[in-house]
Amino acid sequence: METKNSLKTAFNKLSYEPKENLSLDIWTRILKRKKQAIRFRLYAFSSLGIISLFSFVPVFKALFTEFAQSGFSDYLSLAFSNGSSLVVYWKDLALSLVESLPIFDVVLSFGIVLIFLISLRYVLKQIINNNNYVGQSYA
């Protein structure tokens, strides 16, 4: 019992009085950090989207050049021109189509489009999140 009383008196002597606006200061600091994080992500994803947008032209130019050089369009037009020979030689035509497809350029252009769409999605998400935190001070 005596230790309880001694602990009680010790804690009463140490009574800590926090600052008046401590919780408000903490909350405003948290909101400020969230805004900074949202702004950083917004700039990062915007930069990534702009870079991928500017890379559309050379990547698709290379893709169209490879399609023209590989003869893919010739094999594809052959598939639609003569139906009777297609029934007989469909395996050879399918293998020729697959061989002439410029897979690297197709994957690269789809990757660039995917990066652009993902960065656009995240930019819009960050803009929406930023609008949610604007004006919230809880003061």
Tell me the pLDDT of the chain (139 aa) as tens digits: 666 677 777 777 666 666 778 888 889 999 899 888 888 988 999 999 999 999 999 999 999 999 889 888 888 888 788 777 777 888 888 898 888 889 999 999 999 999 999 999 999 988 887 776 555 544 4
Q: What's the CA dihedral at 112, 114, 118, 124 to 10 degrees?
A: 80
| Residue 6: per-residue pLDDT | 76
Model pTM score: 0.67
SS (H, E, C) the chain: CHHHHHHHHHHHHCCCCCCCCHHHHHHHHHHHHHHHHHHHHHHHHHHHHHHHHHCHHHHHHHHHHHHHHHCHHHHHHHHHHCHHHHHHCHHHHHHHHHHHCCHHHHHHHHHHHHHHHHHHHHHHHHHHHHHHHCCCCCC
Token duo for residue 47: 């930069």
Which positions ≥6 away from 53 have C-beta within 8 Å? Answer: 116
Q: Which residue has the tokens 């950090």?
A: 33
| Residue 78: per-residue pLDDT | 80
- Distances 40 to 5, 11, 14, 45, 50 between C-alpha atoms, Å: 53, 45, 43, 9, 15
Which amino acid is located at 117 in the chain?
A: L
Domain boundaries along the sequence of the chain: 24-133
